[in-house]
Amino acid sequence: MRGNAEGLTKRQLLPATTVTRSRELRQNAGEPERRLWRALRESSPILKFRRQVPIGPYHADFCSHAARLIVEIDGDDHAVKSESDAARTRFLKHEGYDVIRFANADVMTNLDGVVAAIGVRIAHRQKGRP
């Protein structure tokens, strides 16, 4: 059976505003997010990263359900939001995801290095898996 006891999937259980917010976040993505999105699609098409994925009360910038990996791009404002970022990371880890964070500047100046670091994390997580 797909979904819960009533046959509803996780997406169907989300408030209507969540899907609207995800679409809005994708449409208004910043340049670092657009660059990383293109790079992930080119370098890891098998992993099928998705953008602005609602997970609980949060929206993950990039998520590969297959690799159970979330990639977050942190803007300048994240320096003052370290406590909320830590709570967010704890929640996502509790949901079974590994979280890797990069600053906007890293994505803009070293995109190849960021993609390589994501590849290393995926390889480490999938070690021993077929």
Residue listed under structure tokens 């917010």 = 21
Residues 6+ apart with CB under 8 A from 122: 44, 47, 64, 67, 69
Q: Mean pLDDT for the chain?
A: 82
Q: In the structure, what pLDDT confidence band is assigned to residue 75 with cuts at 50, 70 and 90?
A: confident
Whole-angstrom distance, CA of residue 10 vs CA of residue 56: 10
Under a CB-based contact definition with an 8 Å cutoff, are residues 111 and 35 in contact?
yes
Q: In the structure, what pLDDT confidence band is assigned to residue 103 with cuts at 50, 70 and 90?
A: very high
- Note the maximum CA span of the chain: 48
* pLDDT reported for residue 82: 73
* pLDDT reported for residue 114: 94
* pLDDT reported for residue 130: 43
Residues 6+ apart with CB under 8 A from 16: none
Under a CB-based contact definition with an 8 Å cutoff, are residues 99 and 68 in contact?
no
Domains of the chain as residue ranges with CATH? 10-125 (3.40.960.10)
Q: In the structure, what pLDDT confidence band is assigned to residue 122 with cuts at 50, 70 and 90?
A: confident
Does position 117 have pLDDT exceeding 70, yes or no? yes
Sign of the torsion angle spanned by Cα atoms 44, 35, 79, 53: negative
Nearest to 56 by CA among 100, 104, 96, 26: 96
* pLDDT reported for residue 80: 60
Query: pLDDT digits over 24-71, tens only?
Result: 877 888 899 999 999 998 887 777 898 988 888 888 999 998 889 999
Whole-angstrom distance, CA of residue 43 vs CA of residue 33: 15
